[in-house]
Homo-oligomer: A and B are copies of this chain.
Amino acid sequence: MDKILRIDVGADGGPKATTDPVGDYAGLGGRALTSAIVSKEVPMACHPLGEENKLVIAPGLLSGSIAAMSGRISVGAKSPLTGGIKEANSGGQPSQVLARLGYAAIVLQGKPKDDSLYKVFINKNGVEITKDNSLKMLGNYDVVEKMKEEYGQKIACISIGQAGEMKLAASSVAFTDMELRPSRHAGRGGLGAVMGSKGIKVIVLDDAGMAMRQPKDVERFKEANKRWIAGLQGHGVTGQALPAYGTNVLTNIINEAGAYPTYNFKEGRFAGAAKISGEVLAEMETKRGGLATHGCHSGCVIRCSGIYNDKDGHFLSKQPEYETVWAHGGDCGIDDLDTIAMLDFLDDNYGLDTIEMGVTIGVAMEAGLLKFGDGKGAINLIKEVGQGTPLGRIIGSGAVVTGKVFGIERVPVVKGQAMPAYDPRAVHGIGVTYATSPMGADHTAGYAIASNILGVGEKVDPLKPEGQVDLSRALQIATAFIDSSGMCVFVAFALLDQPETNQALIDLVNAFYGWNWTADDTVEFGKRVLKMERDFNVGAGFTKEHDRLPLFMKTQQLSPHNLTFQVKDEELDGVFNW
């Protein structure tokens, strides 16, 4: 990981690759690296689909090593959805493979001369870029099938579906899992559209002949990794709940807490929640010959993923995540797992963010386009996105555009990005994160649910404003470091509860790079990342007025707690006063 691959898609004669030493960006990885490159090289006022924007794909600091959980990859750019800086990260295999190939980042830059599509193949011998218009308007699953035929089974793929090609603002970048399913996504912020605007359909990675990345201090690294794995496996969330039920273990928990946004954020509890819970999902998966426990990348010890088969035992989709089950489920009043899994598959195949899509369909339901609970209607709507009809393009542009086009007032977004599966009126800590994260409404940017609901780390009452700003601040800082390390964000549960596991992570980084970081250093690192991101957003026109939840959350109470969001604006403005 000592070099950066840049592909100038506007070069004469087609995209041209150059490889440079990592230079000033040394010591950065994942989110820290994508945000550093975007901050430094992308004009803040540029059009997200224009020549000046860059798409940066970067493995984490520890990716490609033997460290458990280190397979997370970051994608960064100026976001077509929010208009601000964006880092979206994903699991899957490409992070490990790209890191082992020695690349700290791939940067797609420039503006294509025409509308041809290209594929990029990277292996130990270098980089090959080929025009391939036969890939046009293929879904991610079909693209990967073609790549397997051409390059064999031992590859990892980064691709976009039809949505990214159409430059829709809710489009994702897909990453293949260990079995070459394009089912892991850098979903948020429309980064698939930026890849589409560069005319690159797929990046194929093959690390045959490359070795595992070697730490500076091999023995210390191995030893730290043992403590690291033991810590993760010893924690209730990462060692038991997530492996058994996946992220969808949250459905019953959040619904019980009265924080489950239902019918486009109108109510806080969904009558059909039990039918789509993680417990039911796992049982159904096992019964149908799928998998309830599965890892999305090599080296994963949490294994929260799974395989969802249809009633005849055929693959339908990967196990839908909690956020997807909620977005296409409760938020739309849909309580049928087969429908939700089909929507999940369509989103993955077209290359769409499931959160943005679910929330957008909820808004469309409020507009009367279809009824709450209409699963078939929801499937048809997502199919329209894949087909690029005018209605499909509206939906594929996300909740804000859909709300605007249909004149709907209740549009649950911050900085133009749809809110995930926790209503801030009943979980105040996550509301602070939604409001203030430079990413827009993003639960992963500072997952206050851990403390507010799950009782991980300190317990902060979710129904009260007190303590939420401090909680969100600490989590956002910690997350900025985790998102840079290459570690899956779920490690945070163990980090928050177990100081020795936190130390194990720091020891891993130190042993790998020969550093002497303390916990304070990781905090300073996280702050630096957040500051870069916020500075970019200021230049892109963001102010404290954008660090706010939509007004309806202050004026409309949410049942069953009948609360509005209580954290004051002045408090929100203090999140980044450290």
Q: Which residues of A contact B (CB under 8 A)?
A: 43-47, 49-52, 80, 166-169, 193, 196-197, 389-391, 393-394, 397, 401, 404-409, 411, 538-543, 545-546, 548, 550-552, 555
Contact = CB atoms under 8 A, between A and B. Distances in A.
A193 to B, nearest CB: 7
Closest 10 A-B residue pairs measured CB to CB?
A167-B407, A541-B545, A390-B391, A390-B390, A393-B405, A47-B409, A50-B409, A49-B409, A397-B405, A543-B543
A197 B404 CA distance: 13
Nearest to A547: B541
A317 B131 CA distance: 52
Contacts of A390: 389-391, 394, 405
Given A43-B551, A47-B409, A541-B545, 20 more contacts: A44-B545, A45-B545, A45-B548, A46-B551, A47-B551, A47-B552, A49-B409, A50-B551, A51-B555, A193-B407, A390-B390, A390-B391, A390-B394, A393-B406, A401-B401, A401-B404, A401-B405, A539-B545, A541-B546, A542-B543
A404 B409 contact: no
A393 B546 CA distance: 26
Contacts of A543: 538, 541-543
Contacts of A50: 409, 551-552
Nearest to A569: B45
A288 to B, nearest CB: 37
8 contacts: A46-B551, A49-B408, A51-B555, A166-B407, A401-B405, A538-B543, A540-B545, A541-B542
Nearest to A389: B390
A393 B394 contact: yes
Contacts of A47: 409, 411, 550-552
Given A393-B394, A540-B545, A551 B407 contact: no
Contacts of A166: 407
A52 B551 contact: yes
Contacts of A394: 390, 393-394, 405
A192 to B, nearest CB: 11
A550 to B, nearest CB: 7
Interface of A, helix, strand, loop or mixed by DSSP:
loop
Contacts of A167: 407
Contacts of A539: 545
A404 B45 contact: no
A52 B80 CA distance: 29
Contacts of A193: 407
Contacts of A551: 43, 45-47, 50, 52
A47 B389 CA distance: 28
Contacts of A169: 404
A52 B389 CA distance: 35
A3 to B, nearest CB: 30
A543 B539 CA distance: 9
A107 to B, nearest CB: 19
Contacts of A80: 404
Contacts of A52: 551
Contacts of A397: 401, 404-405
A11 B551 CA distance: 22
Contacts of A389: 390
Nearest to A541: B545
A392 to B, nearest CB: 8
A543 to B, nearest CB: 5
A552 B555 CA distance: 40
A46 B394 CA distance: 23
Nearest to A388: B406
Contact of A49 (B44, B407, B541, B550): B407
Nearest to A411: B47
Contacts of A538: 543, 545
Contacts of A541: 542-543, 545-546
Nearest to A548: B45
A115 to B, nearest CB: 10
A64 B332 CA distance: 53
A408 B393 CA distance: 13
A391 B538 CA distance: 34
A190 B54 CA distance: 34
A325 B407 CA distance: 29
A408 B401 CA distance: 15
Contacts of A407: 49, 166-168, 193, 196-197
